[in-house]
Amino acid sequence: MTAKEILSLTAVELGKKIKEKEVTSLEAAKAVLGQIRAMEPVLNSYVTVGKEEEILRQAEEIQKRIDSGELTGPLAGVPAAVKDNICMENMKTTCSSKILSDFVPTYTAEAVENLKKAGAVIIGKTNMDEFAMGSTTETSAYGPTRNPWNPDHVPGGSSGGSCSAVAAAECFFALGSDTGGSIRQPASFCGVTGLKPTYGTVSRYGLIAYGSSLDQIGPVAKDVTDCAAILEVLASHDRKDSTSMERKDKDFMSALKDDVKGMRIGIPADYLGEGLEPEVKEAVLKAAEVLRQKGAVVENFDLSLVEYAIPAYYVIASAEASSNLSRFDGVKFGYRAKEYQGLHSMYKKSRSQGFGPEVKRRIMLGSFVLSSGYYDAYYLKALRTKALIKKAFDEAFSKYDVILGPAAPTTAPRLGESLKDPLKMYLGDIYTISVNLAGLPGLTVPGGKDKNGLPIGIQFIGDCFKEKNIIQAGYAFEQSTGYEMPRLAAEAAARKEER
């Protein structure tokens, strides 16, 4: 197979062809490394790419284990990437921040260990908004990532590097983390599929925390089949994570059925109102019609409290961030200021120089809402609102199997637009953050393009531990669309054949 043919495959398709000896893991790794060399000067999807000889050695060893029958899973031999806030032993994990610029963990996150056990070839660490704080991957200390569909636009965030890398065929799938939509929104902007599992399904051990009660690791891939296969590998009970759940039914690929007959799908009227671009609204209504024609019962309903989700989320997430990020003080690891006088001076200078503007903004907001006199007025009120939002979703899921809506109010904005107005960037999370507040699973699937050729994502939301419902609905919808590689990436892959 040619490099272009290899790179056009999904992760599951590649895994199958490796087992059938039509292609080797080594050839797949070489194709991906060639694509990275071609695309990285334009996109900046990665913070760290492993040494080529080590990646190729890893691929050769995995190929031997496949040939011997030791590795039989669908991801064996498939090159993958990991977001840069998920720890890997002996590989830099920076959270795209200056303060962790030289941090090399001594342990590996449980999610990555599960991928390694499944035989995935780990290529490197992807760029992100600093400490996952942002919606555009422009707050990274290592420069912004660009959108493969149009490099003048952002890829979304905070898992923008993972989504950009998958879209540009710089890996076959990637891990992201989702605190308020950080997998689903960039998946929408980059025209790929992203899945945020139910809170507790995937171990958070080794994920550098932003908002501990909201963070969840999940897959980014080319299609729903890949995401289901990856989730089967990631989902595991981990005693090292007190929020990790023991789930008995993890056969997510059994939900890959083009059948939604009788499925009840609700569209919140609040999700189709003011602020939603007409082309995005049209794409959501088209998706609803596709599912209706396949036999689903689709209707609009009122999902209350949507307007309170953003303030509740930013109060809770910022409060948890201010607590979680207090450990980065220049003492044991990470950046330390070169000139200081005394311990307090070292703390202040190390944190002032090490953190970027968006991280500082959220730490200050979090410290304020947790401070004496404001704790009851803001933080406790936000926690009560979170409980009410969960109750509203419980009521919705007593009537519906799946909730359908947009993943973002717009397609990908131009670079620099969102940074001018942080509040506008925060408001862009309106359709994703409620899922995290309620601990629900959410899936974004490509649903067409706008007039400028930028992807539009359709979001499927399920009840807790009902990933199968959204996988089934997403898969059925996906059969009417299909996956498309961005022209830039396809041309780069084709050029390698010419040479």
Q: Which of 382-412 are b and which e, b meaning 16 or more Cβ less than 10 Å from the residue's Cβ?
A: beebbeebbebbeebbeebbbbbbbbbbbbb
116 closest CA partner among 50, 164, 161, 166: 50
Instruction: Give the span between the Cα atoms of 258 and 294, in whole angstroms.
Output: 9
Name the packing angle between helices 381-397 and 306-324 (round to 10°).
Answer: 130
For residue 234, what are the contacts with CB-CB under 8 A and spacing of at least 6?
A: 111, 114, 115, 175, 197, 201, 202, 217, 218, 219
Instruction: Give the span between the Cα atoms of 209 and 366, in whole angstroms.
Output: 14
CA 87 to centroid of chain Cα atoms: 16
Residue type at 310? I
Decide if 217 contacts 436 (C-beta within 8 A).
Answer: no
331 closest CA partner among 99, 132, 108: 99
Instruction: Give the span between the Cα atoms of 310 and 321, in whole angstroms.
Output: 16
For the range 138-143, what are the long-range contacts, defined as Cβ-Cβ under 8 Å and sequence gap of 24 or more?
Answer: 138/415, 138/416, 138/418, 138/419, 139/96, 139/356, 139/357, 139/358, 139/359, 139/419, 140/47, 140/96, 141/94, 141/96, 141/97, 141/98, 141/101, 141/356, 142/44, 142/47, 142/94, 142/96, 143/44
Gap between the terminal Cα atoms of the chain = 16
How far from 377 is each of 97, 213, 248, CA to CA, in Å? 32, 20, 41
User: Phi-psi bin for 200: left (phi > 0), alpha (psi -120 to 50), beta?
Assistant: left
Beta-bridge mates of residue 402: 265, 462
Residue given tokens 């994920």 in the structure block = 207
Instruction: Give the span between the Cα atoms of 473 and 254, in whole angstroms.
Output: 13
Active site residues: 83, 158, 182
Tokens of 49: 């790419």
